[in-house]
Amino acid sequence: MLSLRIGFSPLNDAALIVVAQSLGYYEGEGLDVSLSREANWSNIRDKLSYGLLDAAHILATVPLARGLGLGPALGRIVAPMALGVNGNSVVVSSRLMEVFEGQGADTLLASARALRDVIQLRRGAGAAKVTLAIPFTYSPHHFVLRHWLAAGGIDPDRQVQWVVLPPSRMADHLKDGVIDGFCSGSPWPQMAEVNGDGRVLFSDPDFWTLKPEKLLAVRGTWADENPDGVIALTRALLRAAGWASDPANRTELARILAQGAYVGAPEAAIELALDRAGLILDPQTATFPWVSHAKWFMGQFVRWGLATPDHDFDAIARSVYRPDLWREAAAGLGLNQPLSDEKDEGGQAEVWALSAKPADILMPPNALFDGGVFHCAPVAHD
């Protein structure tokens, strides 16, 4: 048996990591896995850096940030698969939610404009800025909130105060009035709502119907030393995805996640989050490590002044995202293989067919709330 240690954050989108352990998929692939429940993303990043973890459930943006020269040294990371799509929600205080509803803000764009009006009123009254919490500076949550705010005419740098908090503590800060809202992975937004500390304003599918979020990150040195182990690990997680995405297993999935060693939240809140936050765990449509996702994220780094445009974005993306490893692991599992490593992100409001072999893949809608499309130039995979 090949031994390895995998870190994860206590979130619903760590489902594949914990299901593979709970149901024996790692052992079935010849792996002796120990899991490490981590308090925050910095812990996961640093433990990967120092070799205290061999692999991890990680924000898709973290290894890209390092490739752009941001943050402390992380070492080389390879990502043979995504761990699903969607799963985050944005929560605001009940007071703010009443303002949105009072203005008939029933779309994302309308809600952003309503918040712009709140900001203007606060500034006129000499009150504090609206304060929003995120779990990590270089995170998809940060980019979602910035994109949404900007669409409503709000300057995210000048008109909003940002704070970084662990997701499990965000509801307490909202309750105490320290923050006005937050974006985090589920089930913590739903916990805030159930406890009466705030209201969910929108979730990932409202922003982007097929939004990338987490990766399986494998330490480069471990991957080099254990190439068969990387494939075995990926295959175990793809098998876990097949189980976790079956609606017949939803109740059992919530029971597994609720355990204290994993997410450690009430089953009812976890089930509510699984229903409402749009988390997709399907191995065929939600686990391929799209290079176009990496490029979209790096475009956000540049858009918000966190990185300069003078990088080789294709090289950075392909040094982390490894569709070749996904294809190798998926080959014996009956999954269809995308013909390209990239696709347009956005512009698909309905179910659509993705070119793949031996058969095309029927994909969920892939659309952003503002109608934007991130165009890529797909290169065929032989």
**Residue 279, phi then psi, degrees to nearest 5:** -60, 125
Model pTM score: 0.95
What CATH architecture is 2-85+211-339?
3-Layer(aba) Sandwich (3.40)
**pLDDT at position 364, please?**
97
pLDDT per position as a tens digit, 73-106: 778 999 999 999 999 999 999 888 888 887 777 8
Contact 294, 77 (CB under 8 A): no
**pLDDT at position 97, please?**
87
pLDDT per position as a tens digit, 45-74: 999 999 999 999 999 999 999 999 998 877
Strands 214-219 and 55-59: antiparallel
Contact 48, 7 (CB under 8 A): yes
Give the sheet arrangement for strand 181-185, strand by strand.
160-164, 130-134, 181-185, 88-92, 199-203
209 pLDDT tier (thresholds 50, 70, 90): very high
pLDDT per position as a tens digit, 212-224: 999 999 999 999 9
Q: What is the mean pLDDT of the chain?
A: 94
- Per-residue pLDDT at 259 exceeds 60: yes
**pLDDT at position 73, please?**
78
**pLDDT at position 332, please?**
85
**Residue 179, phi then psi, degrees to nearest 5:** -125, 160
- Domain extent listing, the chain: 2-85+211-339, 88-207
pLDDT per position as a tens digit, 290-313: 999 999 999 999 999 999 999 999
Task: Give the number of other CB atoms < 10 A from CB of residue 152.
Answer: 18
Strands (E), the chain: 2-8, 31-37, 55-59, 77-82, 88-92, 130-134, 160-164, 181-185, 199-203, 214-219, 337-338, 352-354, 356-357, 361-363
Tally of residues, the chain: 382
**pLDDT at position 57, please?**
98
**pLDDT at position 378, please?**
56
Contact 374, 292 (CB under 8 A): yes
- Per-residue pLDDT at 147 exceeds 70: yes
Domain pair 2-85+211-339 / 88-207, same fold: yes
**pLDDT at position 224, please?**
97
Lookup result for tokens 């705030």: 198
Average pLDDT on 310-328 reads 97
**pLDDT at position 270, please?**
95
Average pLDDT on 175-198 reads 94
pLDDT per position as a tens digit, 271-289: 999 999 999 999 999 999 9
Taking the alpha carbons at both ends of the chain, their separation in whole angstroms is 33
Average pLDDT on 156-174 reads 94
Average pLDDT on 11-21 reads 98
**pLDDT at position 74, please?**
79
**pLDDT at position 380, please?**
52
What CATH architecture is 88-207?
3-Layer(aba) Sandwich (3.40)
Average pLDDT on 105-112 reads 89
**pLDDT at position 183, please?**
98
Average pLDDT on 146-156 reads 97
**pLDDT at position 94, please?**
87
- Per-residue pLDDT at 258 exceeds 80: yes
Minimal CA–CA distance to 344: which of 279, 380, 296? 296
**pLDDT at position 68, please?**
95
- Per-residue pLDDT at 234 exceeds 70: yes
- Per-residue pLDDT at 382 exceeds 80: no
205 pLDDT tier (thresholds 50, 70, 90): very high
